[in-house]
Structure formats: structure tokens, C-alpha cells
Amino acid sequence: MEVLAPAGSKETFKAALAGGADAIYLGGKLFGARRFAHNFSDDELKAAVDMAHGRGVKVYVTVNTLIKERELGLANSYLDLLDRIGADAVIVQDRGLVQLIKERYGLDVHASTQMGVHSPEDALWAQRQGISRAILSRELTLSEIARIATSTTIGLEVFVHGALCYAFSGQCLFSSILGGRSGNRGMCAQPCRKRYTLGPLSGYLLSTADLFSIEALPRLMEIGVEAVKIEGRLRSPVYVYLATKTYKAAVQRAERGEEILMTPREREMLSVAFNRGFSPGYLLTTDVMQRSYPDSRGLLLGRARSEGRRVRVRGELEEGDGITFYRGDEKIGGFEVRSPIREGDVRVLPSPYRLEMGDYTAYKTKDREFAAIEAEINEVPFPSSHVQRREVALPLKEMPRRSRQGELSFYVSSIPALKEVLPHAKRVYFDLGPHTEEALAECRSSSVECVVNLPRITPSIPAVPEAPIMVNSPGQSMAFPERAVYGSYFMNMFNSLNRPQLYQYTLSVELSRDDMWDLTRHYQGRLEVMVFGRLELMVTRDPTLAEGTLVDERGARFPVIRDHQGYAHILNSADLFLLDHLDELERMGIDSYGIDLRNRPPDLCSIVARAFSRRDLRQKDRIKRRVGGITAGHFLRGVQ
């Protein structure tokens, strides 16, 4: 089993090598999902690949953001560079890039966790595209991974350590919609690490613990998982070294059939290097939250009592260790341990400054061995190299679209709402659930097309009545090959190369009007644009988030709804409203306008449906007052 380590800089790359990684994943300056890491220049990429290959280590390069139409040429030239320097694989989110890579280059393709592979059907779709490995969604259980492994022959990779996103990766718009920093473009601002209130609860309600899944390694081996992955391209060289070394040793022990996979000292040091609380993750439990604090505090020691220039604390603290003191959320200070005095299981620590008398919560934030580890890492030379990027043409055929009047397509989830929109609808997208058959009958009697909207997340794809369907993943489309298939905006259509081919795609809600113009000039299939509704910011497997209203520190209110499958959905605080931009969308040749009225009262559904049917902008203020706020979303601003 391959141990795959992160590298966000030359220093962490050297740390991964020194720690014994079998493979390293890293990103260049473009198209990587960690744009705030230092990352690697073209020359550094070549040097890293050459250096790793000289040690028998593989290098996988991340090209795991969504690519805008105007960026396809630049992405193509970048892929050419990666092919020429001998990268062992590229990690890809954008499905449109996969066919481009397979047609033009000899690179192996790994499906990023951002691509959302979470079912046997998703994995089979990826396999049929020539993708050699799927990095599975972090929300899957061991049994769900086993089902995928027995259904396909594609290589499987599983995250076992590091940060755990609250939402399904590749399906989170929270950072993007709130502040324009898109997680799908490598710029997540981590709103899940902020404070919220929900009913009587207050705190870091969306903040997860870090993965620490060593105990799952034997079962992952039995399943046939090809690689285990450590998250952390934004973390320190010491963290990368320790995580790599610890998991490499644990894999070797598991392969030998040993029961003890990690020593107490290994656990201690890794817990000091980065620690916001740990969980084995959805692999083994649904208890993945750590809502007390969102940052790394190191290893919890417990209560410490200050006597001014001396501090008493329980724990194994030695010369050269580091300690930090907190009161609640406030970090008070800390120091390096010098000349500790042992009094039974208590350490009396001389303080280099006077610490206010009283009790604190103490954490070990540095280990005495860290300096030696840093010295070992620094001794690893990083060579210089040079490579010249070349411009590689990517001709995209112009396919002008004629102006057309878009059809009105309504998303609804109840029969009363359905009855209100039917007089104005060309089609209805009705959520799969207990009232689906009734909705199909109502639509038939009104000669309105009814499309069954599949659940967002389907580790097991459910049976669906005979009807057209709307899908949220490529695997869902594979399960119904004989039907008309509509793609939701969760399919992340960013460019004209997007796959698989469907009857209709909804454009990503992260595209601006300029991005849409660029795309529509090269795509002739049916397209929909969302023009009204509460956009979905997150979908999560967390079973502890209650339905209600999530309120952030600015007072913005985000509805929380739980679906029939048990997943929680966090919606935007304001409704998308593009009624005043329909004329421009017509000129683009958009076929359908998506109006999302799910979980809304029937009278509001009627008001919105009539306003869009009649193009009645006089209703704008009335609708705004009724829903509490409207926005043009990314249509006017876009994402970087």
C-alpha cells in the first residue's frame, strides 16, 4: 500500500522524502486547490520530479481546480509541461480536462476528491474514461469503499490523516458565494472554521476534527485500497515528516500482521505537530466534529496553575519541549521548557516571565525532537533545474448560438408548490421522495415535463420511476442510460469540454456573465442558467447538525434542511435573482432558466412564477421584501 504525502513547498517536499513517502503530491503555480501554499515554479517542479525519481518515489501534480473556458489554452500548455518533465500522474477535478489529457498526453490521471467519486457508478464512470485512480470522498464508510472496490478495477486512494472538510469536496460554495474565494478554484477562506449560532447552540458548529485513521489501515488493505493519503500542503515540514514516517511505519506493521500499528511516542509527536482534535473519520464513525476551537493547539495536557514565575502542570514535559496556555478561546502565552522539576506526576516549570496567577488550559506545542527533525530535513539537498514551458495550441471550434427565449424550469419539493408553478412551467424538477409519483401524475395532466431530481449524494443509487432525471454526479447518469438526463449545477460545468455528454447541463453558479459568454461560443448542447433561489452552499454527512437557521457573526441567516437520505444542506442567506438579466441570457442562447422554489411556501412560489413568466420587474422589491434579500450572485462578479 502506497503512502502518499503532501508537499506545499520545497521544505515540505524534502520532509516527505526524509519521512519515507512512497509518493508525493504537490502543485505548481497554476490550477492547484491550495493556491495559498508556496507551491512550485516550473523549474522547481522538474527538479522535484527528478529528485523523487532518483529515490524511487513518485510525484503526482495537482491540476485540481475548475478551468474556465478562456483558461483552457493555458491549462493545455501546463499539461504539456507536466508530461515532458515526467510527472507520474496529474490529479484532476475538471472532467473536461480528462479527455484532453487522454487524447494528447501520456499522463496518468487521478480523479481528485474534488471530482466527488462516492459510489460504484462514479468509480466505474471514471474507469471508463481512462482514469487510473479515484481519490474517494472522505465521507465514505469502510463498507461503502468495499462496495466500490468490488464493483470496479480502478485504483482507489483514501484520505487517512489531516483536515476533514465539513462539506463534500467539490460541492462546497460557502466561501465562494460569501466572499468570492472559491474552494473549487483553490482559494477556500474556510468559513467552516468560523463561529455560528443555531437555535440554543453557539460555537464552531461546522468545525471538524482532523482525520487520524491508523486503525483503519488493516481493513483498507483487505479491501484492496491502492494508496492512503495524508492531507497537509499548507502545514509545516515537521508535520509532513512525522505524518509520513508514522503512517509508513504503520503500513509496514499492518503488512506484517502486527496488531500494534503505532507507538505511544509516535502518537504523541504527531499530536503535537498539528492538532485540532482527532477522529478516525467517517471510515469508522459519524463522530467527526470538534466544535470547541478551530485551530491547532497541540497536545492537550490539562489544567496548569501559575504561581507567578512558576507553573505546575501534569504531563511528560522535558527540556526543550514547548508549552502554550489558554483561557477559553484566548491564547495567553507560552514558552520553551527549561530545567523542569519533577514532583511525582507533576512538572514544575520555571517561567521566563511572570504569568498571572491562576488556572489555565495547557497544551504541548513543541517537542524536544523537533529541532533534530528540522536539521535532518535541512540536510536534504534540493537541486536546481530548468525547463522551458511552450505554448501549445488548443483550437476550440466556434459554435455561435442563436438568441432564443428561455423556457421556465421550476425546482419544487411539494405538491402544493407544484400546483402553483404548473401554469407557468415548461418543466418541473421534482425531488425524488414520497410524493414523486403524485408529482408525475400532476405534470402529465398539465402537459408539463416532470424531471425527477436525484438526491445530491448517492453511495447507493435508488430506484427512480420512469421519467427524465436530473443528476448530480456522472455515476448517476450512467445508472439511467436510456433516459433524458439533465445535469444540475452541482455537476460543475465550467467549460465546453465538460463530460459526460447529457441532454442538458446547468452552468456552474460560479460563472460570471463574461465566463458564460466565453463558454456558450463553443458549446451547442442545451444549457440552463439558475436565475432564482437559495443556492446550496454545503451538503454534509454530519448527523448532528439540526435543521433550523445557522447565523454567522455578521448576522447573516442560512437555512439548514435535512433531506430524505439524512444529509444536511446549508442554503444561502439571500436568493439569487436574475430576472433583470434575462434579455442578456437570451442573447447568449440559453435554453432554460432554473427557478428553485424548493421548501418555499406555495404563495411565494406563485408570486415568483408569475413574475418570471410575465418578466414583471415591478415585483422585484416585493419579492425582495418577502424573501429577506436578493443577490445577482456571481453573474456580475465571478470568481478569481
Helix ranges, 400-529 (H): 415-421, 436-446, 474-478, 513-520
CA 82 to chain centre: 24
Q: Which of 258, 285, 312 is the last residue of a domain?
A: 285
Whether residues 143 and 175 fall in one domain: yes
Whether residues 212 and 73 fall in one domain: yes
Q: State which residues form the domain around 583.
A: 407-535+572-631
pLDDT of residue 323: 98
pLDDT of residue 32: 84
Q: How far apart are CA 488 and CA 470, in angstroms?
A: 6
**What CATH number is given to the structural domain containing 332?**
2.40.10
Mean pLDDT of the residues in the chain: 97
pLDDT of residue 443: 98
Whether residues 217 and 324 fall in one domain: no
Whether residues 104 and 28 fall in one domain: yes
Any idea what DSSP says for residue 618? G
| Cβ(4)–Cβ(21) below 8 Å | yes
Does residue 192 fall inside a structural domain? yes
| Cβ(430)–Cβ(450) below 8 Å | yes
Does residue 527 fall inside a structural domain? yes
33-50 residue pLDDT tens: 777 778 999 999 999 999
**What CATH number is given to the structural domain containing 109?**
3.20.20.70
Tell me the three state secondary structure of residue 142. Answer: helix
Residue labelled with grid coordinates 464512470 = 125
Whether residues 204 and 317 fall in one domain: no
390-420 residue pLDDT tens: 999 999 999 989 999 999 999 999 999 999 9
* pLDDT above 90 coverage of the chain, percent: 96
Whether residues 346 and 200 fall in one domain: no
Whether residues 112 and 48 fall in one domain: yes
Does residue 325 fall inside a structural domain? yes
Any idea what DSSP says for residue 463? P
Whether residues 133 and 156 fall in one domain: yes
422-471 residue pLDDT tens: 999 999 999 999 999 999 999 999 999 999 999 999 999 999 999 999 99
Q: How far apart are CA 332 and CA 39, in angstroms?
A: 33
**What CATH number is given to the structural domain containing 457?**
3.20.20.60
Does residue 395 fall inside a structural domain? no
103-130 residue pLDDT tens: 999 999 999 999 999 999 999 999 999 9
Residue labelled with grid coordinates 448576522 = 555
Per-residue burial over 1-22, b = 16 or more CB atoms within 10 Å of its CB, e = otherwise: bbbbbbbbbbbbbbbbbbbbbb
Helix ranges, 152-263 (H): 174-179, 217-223, 237-255
> What is the total count of domains within the chain?
3
| Residue 375: exposure state from Cβ atoms within 10 A (0-12, 13-18, ≥19) | exposed
Q: Please give the average per-residue pLDDT across 611-635, as a whole number.
A: 97
Whether residues 334 and 468 fall in one domain: no
Whether residues 65 and 168 fall in one domain: yes
Answer whether residue 640 shows pLDDT above 90: no
Q: Which helix (H) or strand (E) holds 346?
A: strand 346-366
Written as one letter, the residue type at 149 is: A
Does residue 382 fall inside a structural domain? no
Whether residues 366 and 481 fall in one domain: no
